[in-house]
């Protein structure tokens, strides 16, 4: 296991505060690549939920560079390291598969296995989806893009269709690599995703 994966797991093992426990399981978009820990998506989401009167600990189990295959292999270890079963598991994976040109069938199989494990443990799921970059071509996009909606329907999961929606096309909200959002971009995403998280937690 990489040093970063170990650090993510250590963060996941911290005791949950009173209230809800949310697991943010994903890649660099959850991990907070290029920003301070307190500016990461899970940290900002936790603060926004608190401001809405929802006591929740959002555990950052994001690992930069993770493919769906790598995440699949570490999922049980992360879940077993938590203080208790989470009230919600947020999953954001697939972007690195797409950037590496991994066959969407493999991505689908890995994400299916992740959802299966979460379902087996009785953990509600919220998928924050990805969309194939235009340069990947229409054939690739046609196989990759439907994965998230299909899995959301199959596993009765909440779905935010595209994590970077409304942000990736705005250079001022993206880091120079044009892959990761700035702190302002993260805040924009949190503002859009938080209502869905709140609704999902309240429905339990």
> Which of the following is catalytic: 64, 66, 97, 180?
180
Go through the chain and tell me how many residues it has.
Answer: 204
> Which of the following is catalytic: 18, 156, 177, 203?
177
Between CA 171 and CA 178, with CA 175 as vertex, the angle to 5 degrees is 65
Cβ neighbors of 155 (< 8 A, separation 6 or more) are 115, 118, 119, 125
Whether 187 is catalytic is no
> Which of the following is catalytic: 27, 28, 64, 66?
28
Cβ neighbors of 101 (< 8 A, separation 6 or more) are 136, 140
Long-range pairs, 39-45, Cβ under 8 A, ≥24: 39/183, 39/186, 40/186, 41/186, 41/189, 41/190, 44/186, 44/187, 44/190, 45/190, 45/193, 45/194, 45/197
Whether 180 is catalytic is yes
Whether 28 is catalytic is yes
Active-site residue list: 28, 177, 180
């Amino acid at each position: 296991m990489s040093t970063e994966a170990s650090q993510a797991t250590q963060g996941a093992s911290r005791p949950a505060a009173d209230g809800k426990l949310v697991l943010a399981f994903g890649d660099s978009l959850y991990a907070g690549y290029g920003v301070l820990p307190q500016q990461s998506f899970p940290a900002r989401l936790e603060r926004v939920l608190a401001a809405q009167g929802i006591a929740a600990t959002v555990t950052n189990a994001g690992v930069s560079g993770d493919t769906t295959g790598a995440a699949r292999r570490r999922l049980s270890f992360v879940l077993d390291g938590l203080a208790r079963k989470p009230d919600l598991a947020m999953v954001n994976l697939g972007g690195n598969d797409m950037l590496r040109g991994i066959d969407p069938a493999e991505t689908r199989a890995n994400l299916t296995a992740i959802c299966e494990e979460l379902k087996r443990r009785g953990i509600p799921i919220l998928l924050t989806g990805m969309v194939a970059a235009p340069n990947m071509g229409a054939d690739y996009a046609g196989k990759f893009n439907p994965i998230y909606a299909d899995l959301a329907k199959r596993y009765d999961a909440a779905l935010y269709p595209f994590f970077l929606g409304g942000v990736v096309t705005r250079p001022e909200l993206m880091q120079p690599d044009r892959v990761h959002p700035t702190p302002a971009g993260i805040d924009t995403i949190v503002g859009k995703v938080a209502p869905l998280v709140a609704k999902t937690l309240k429905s339990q």
